[in-house]
Amino acid sequence: LLGEEQSGHIKEVGFELYQQMLEEAVAEVKDTGEVQDSGWSPQIAVGTAVMIPESYVPDLQLRMALYRRLGDLETTEEIDGFGAELIDRFG
């Protein structure tokens, strides 16, 4: 159903977000006949300020993967383990 390029995009942003973005693009094409570059930037709401600075993890794809993992953490132990991994990997 999806080509290799689209599948890569799904891996980067996650299926649900990709589906939402695709639905918005289809609706825009139906309304205007073309897709505009919205300059959209992802925002993740977790109830507290969380940011992995570009200076800490320069690779955008890796930072997005870390954000996805962070969003899946449920326990204090998982959060502590994730923090320890970040320190081990990135200083």
Q: pLDDT tens across 19-42, in order?
A: 887 888 888 888 877 766 666 666
Whether 7 shows a pLDDT value over 50: the answer reads: yes
Q: What pLDDT sits at residue 81? A: 95
Report how far residue 35's alpha carbon sits from residue 28's, in angstroms, rounded to the nearest whole number: 6
Whether 5 shows a pLDDT value over 60: the answer reads: no
Q: Record the pTM.
A: 0.47
Whether 43 shows a pLDDT value over 80: the answer reads: no
